[in-house]
Structure 1
Amino acid sequence: MPAPLTPTALLTALRAEGVTVVEHPGWRANNRNHKGRWGPVHGVMIHHTVTSGTTGSVSLCFKGHSTLPGPLCHGVIAKDGTVHLVGNGRANHAGSGDGDVLRAVVAQTAAPAPDENDTDGNTHFYGFECVNLGDGKDPWTAAQLEAMVRVSAALCRAHGWSARSVIGHKEWTRAKIDPRGFTMSAFRTRVTARLTGRTPEPTPAKPALHPFPGTAWFRKAPTSPVVTAMGRRLVAVGCSAYAQGPGPRWTDADRASYAQWQRKLGYTGADADGWPGPTSWTALKVPYTPSTP
């Protein structure tokens, strides 16, 4: 029966894998063991926090809240790749999930899609909350993803598991969507590479935000999905002169809406003429949109 690592053994495993670790005061005794068993452990579960900022996220995961007491995981993985340990023992992170998934994890086989919530995951999984809004737009930094891979590999190595023992919360129960923004299959490929010493071919990352197309591009009255994406962002920030739309073709309504945005940023006169510039465009945070003419 795989017993959970002791706090000292966990620290040793993480640091041996090259992880930067911060010990939150009191983490070694912070657990929910009085509510149920902790162990045997069979895998690692990856989550996103739906929060921003390291300090607040760590505090929340250590203490929990009125309806879900902490710890909410064993470690919080920050954007800079630092792993903040907040709990040791049973933690409120996995909740109920599919027993068939657990059996697949134990057998080191491909897990089925979850369709039941009949098994307590808090007993059997280490949990790591990774700081991300979980909206599909908040970017995952290279340092954070690498730390997530190393944490997973460290625990797999310590227990003699393969990457099949690493799952996302959404693979445990269909009631959850985390982690969002990357695929767990690609993540497990990286964990396998870490465990075997092979380096996978990197997948080019799609930028989170769309680069500024240039003022001259807008002056040509383009028809492009980028114009639609920009218009939607203008509506979202409360700067809309649209009677309908926005749509893909640049119109006077787009220019009038953009002028509202420029004035909202504090521009006046000719600087608020509705023609996008690099600074106001960056501040608008238009999501990356493919198929630009």
Structure 2
Amino acid sequence: MRKIQKPLRKCLKILDLKPKILFAFCLRDLFVFLGIFFCTGLLVIITNLQSFAVYKDIYQDTSRSLPYSLNILNIAIANPRNQVSTDNQINTSQVNKINFPTAKTHPLPEILQKWEDKSNSGDYFDQVQPTRLGYLVWSNFPVKIYIETPTNINQNQAEIWVKTVYRTVKEWNSYLPLELVNTGELADIKIIRKAPPLQGNPPRARSAQTTYEIYTKNNILSHRFTILLSPTQTGEYLIAASRHELGHALGIWGHSPLATDVLYFSQVRKPPLISTRDVNTLKKVYKQPTKLGWQVE
């Protein structure tokens, strides 16, 4: 009887310990899961920190950030910032001394006048950022665009790059009159195959950047854009980057919250074409007042 009782006591002890062991195992697994979850979340945050689009009013030293990325490694952004130009340049020391014109609306371009959205798709106009000059709209058409032919790659590759970018110009030309010019001096928008400056701390590479500068010509307050497209961008990503940045340069100075729009703020697996919402937003922007295109007082 004693021989039977002894093993029985051992079995009972083991059974008594099992809930504790199971609890310890469960607790360990929970900590492992939480660790993986936390690290994954941290990795996502760090990745997204690479994709900053810094929106800076040309008169202020404050900025806001919006993410936009074309792929995980190479980030495409729009970076409105304070620039100056060579045609009767307006530098930061002159800003508060100039009597800028009163903001007024320009006549709506004919193509946008005729545009109708019968599907009532809506827009994302509330995401567009006005500057101290008002909205960044064009009033002198056609808008002149210069695509710089790359010189640091072979001729065949350079031709392919220019044709790829030109494809996106033709797409936007369906909604605003655009014209290619042969020299950057004549251009309102210059598109260049060049890596944008590093940004952030630590510095991070970006896939594209759009900047504007303010100047006066014949006493008319004017603006012009420069788009930098990183040499790392090819194929669909180059098309998507150029299409997106041109949207900024044509006046959509903000990002859409929907992945089906060209101006969506983040990466998508298959970049979309110009959407009805993109055009609705563009049309609404061009109905807004601006100081650009009017005579300086």
TM bucket by the smaller chain? Answer: under 0.3
Structure whose residues are more often helix by fraction: 1
With normalisation by structure 1, the TM-score equals 0.24
With normalisation by structure 2, the TM-score equals 0.24
Structure whose residues are more often strand by fraction: 2
